[in-house]
Each structure stands twice: as structure tokens, then as C-alpha cells.
Amino acid sequence: MDNEIIFKAKELSERIIRQAGQISKEKFDNFVELKSKDDFGDVVTEVDHIAEEIIINQIRTAFPNHQIHSEEVGVIGEENDWLWLIDPLDGTNNFAIGLSVFTTSITLMYKREPVLGVIYEPMTDRLFTSVRDHGAYCNTRPIKIKSNPNILKGNIGWIQGHKVQNDIKAVKLRQFIDISFKRMMRLWAPTLVWCMLAKGDIDGIILFNSEGDDLYSGILMVKEAGGIVIDFDGNPFTGMNAEPYIIACHPDHKEQLLRMVRTGLS
């Protein structure tokens, strides 16, 4: 793995993600085009496409041999060790209804592991960055996950894939989490939920089959902030998985959240 490439990619990503985020901010409550993407309620606006084009063009110029996978255009380039994952507007459904809860996410993967995650929340001007083995930051300030002495009084983020809908297992687990903790949060902007956990604002994440271009930047952010990311069997979550089932939290809460998930699914 070439650290020079990663830090060059970091510098580029921090610059272009702000450019893309500025488009989202300017177009908030002022966009023109809204289209349905699928049969599961996901939508897309012209902002997704404009922001995506800004990011892709500059990555392709700087790293012409790297493969890119982006939310709207799909795969660009030949498969190799380096893969960029782009979500130009994570939280489009929120954006579309005038709810200012959305981000832009850029991830660089090396051999199917995230090595760089950059997430920008334009409405608050918060830039989250993480580089593997170099920590996680919010606007250049180090961030750390927090341990809650009473996790059952904590706030838990819930993330599920669009195709999950009202899957009976998901509904059962979601309801159990909702009544077992102080608050279960469904923001419909997954990268922001991951950043909130890394920053210590919430206490855990339960993710039910939600894989996409918005996942791996958040996973790296939490890991670099001192958190753990495990599957529902309690094993460390590594690599890429088309159907992930994940628990993320402070190491102190691993066993308790794992028990809660198992109970909720039983």
C-alpha cells in the first residue's frame, strides 16, 4: 500500500468534496428535478448528478488508473487494487423534502479495505476525515468514540437498506431496539450516523443489510475513532460484503449490544 497515494487522495478529496457540498447547499430547497430511482422509494435529483460529475472528473484526472464506483453512474474503469466509492448526496430523500440532513461521501479502498474516508456535511460545514492508522478528525480536530456507563439510556442509530423495507426480521429487531434504548435514530443519511458515533454523539449503530457507496467511509471513521465494527455473529467486519449485518460501538459495549441484537432476532 502506497501512503503517498493515500495522502494525495486525501488532499484531493477534501477539496472536491467541499465543491460538491457547496452545490448541495446552494440547491437546498431550490432544486428542480426529482425522479424515482427504484420501486423501493429511493429518489435522485439533479444535485446528485452535478455533485457526482465534479467529483468523478477530478478523481479521473488525478488517478486515471483507479477504478471508480459511484452511486448514480455505476462502475468506471478496470478492476484493480484501488477503488473509489462515491455517494454524491447521501440523504437524498431528506434533501428532497427540505430536511437539511445529508452529506457527501468519498471513500478510497485498497484491496477491498477502506484506507481513506472523507464525509462532508455542507449545512454545518463539518468535514470528517479518516486515514487508516492515522485517526479520525472533524474539521482537523481529533474525534473519539465514547463509552456510556449506562448504554440502555443511550442513543442507537438504525440503518437499513432500501430493499429491506418491512422484512419481518428487520421489523422485529427494529422494534426491540426502539423500546430497549433511550432513543433509536433513523436519519436516512447513513454516513452522518457513522460520523455521529465516531464523534461520540450517539452510542451505537445497528445496520441491517445496507451495503453501498456510503458504507465504508463510515466504517473507517468509527474504527479510526476507536470503535469496533462487528457482524451479528460477533466477528470483526472486514473487507466488502454485499449483504452486511453490522454492530458498531465502543469496545466496552460489544457484548451487551451483541446480546441485544440476538435477543431482538430470536
Instruction: Give per-residue pLDDT as tens, 105-156.
Output: 999 999 999 999 999 999 999 999 999 999 999 999 999 999 999 999 999 9
Q: What local confidence, expressed as pLDDT, does residue 146 receive?
A: 97
Beta strands 141-142 and 245-249: pairing type? Answer: unpaired
**Closest residue by Cα to residue 51 from 21, 12, 8, 71:** 21
pLDDT tier at 39 (50, 70, 90 boundaries)? Answer: low
For helices 254-265 and 168-180, angle between their N-to-C axes, nearest 10 degrees: 130
Whether 41 has a pLDDT exceeding 60, the answer reads no
Domains of the chain, first to last:
3-142 (3.30.540.10), 151-265 (3.40.190.80)
pLDDT tier at 38 (50, 70, 90 boundaries)? Answer: low
Beta strands 228-231 and 183-185: pairing type? Answer: unpaired
For helices 190-199 and 216-224, angle between their N-to-C axes, nearest 10 degrees: 0
Copy the grid coordinates of residue 259: 446480546
Q: What local confidence, expressed as pLDDT, does residue 37 receive?
A: 66
pLDDT tier at 222 (50, 70, 90 boundaries)? Answer: very high
Q: Give the count of beta carbons closer than 10 Å to the beta carbon of residue 133.
A: 9
Q: How far is Cα 166 from Cα 197, in angstroms, rounded to an integer?
A: 25
Which amino acid is residue 248, in one-letter code? Answer: A
Longest CA–CA span in the chain (Å) reads 51
**Closest residue by Cα to residue 234 from 249, 214, 212, 222:** 249
Contact 228, 146 (CB under 8 A): no
What mean pLDDT is reported for the chain?
A: 94
Average pLDDT over residues 160-181: 96
Q: How far is Cα 261 from Cα 266, in angstroms, rounded to an integer?
A: 9
Cβ-in-10-Å burial (0-12, 13-18, 19+) of 242 comes to: exposed
Q: How far is Cα 94 from Cα 91, in angstroms, rounded to an integer?
A: 5
pLDDT tier at 30 (50, 70, 90 boundaries)? Answer: confident
Residue 90 counted as an annotated binding residue = yes
Q: What are phi and psi of 106, to 5 degrees?
A: -130, 130
Instruction: Give per-residue pLDDT as tens, 59-98.
Output: 999 999 999 999 788 999 999 999 999 999 999 999 989 9
Whether 40 has a pLDDT exceeding 80, the answer reads no
Q: What local confidence, expressed as pLDDT, does residue 73 receive?
A: 86
pLDDT tier at 169 (50, 70, 90 boundaries)? Answer: very high
Whether 25 has a pLDDT exceeding 60, the answer reads yes
Q: How far is Cα 140 from Cα 202, in angstroms, rounded to an integer?
A: 20
Which amino acid is residue 6, in one-letter code? Answer: I
Q: What local confidence, expressed as pLDDT, does residue 86 receive?
A: 97
Indicate the pTM of the whole model. Answer: 0.94
Q: How far is Cα 52 from Cα 105, in angstroms, rounded to an integer?
A: 10
Average pLDDT over residues 154-172: 96
Whether 187 has a pLDDT exceeding 90, the answer reads yes
Instruction: Give per-residue pLDDT as tens, 44-65.
Output: 788 888 999 999 999 999 999 9
Q: How far is Cα 52 from Cα 249, in angstroms, rounded to an integer?
A: 31
Which amino acid is residue 182, in one-letter code? Answer: K
Whether 2 has a pLDDT exceeding 90, the answer reads no
**Closest residue by Cα to residue 116 from 10, 225, 193:** 10
Q: How far is Cα 191 from Cα 120, in angstroms, rounded to an integer?
A: 9
Average pLDDT over residues 239-255: 97
Residue 87 counted as an annotated binding residue = yes
Beta strands 228-231 and 204-208: pairing type? Answer: unpaired
Q: Give the count of beta carbons closer than 10 Å to the beta carbon of residue 30.
A: 8
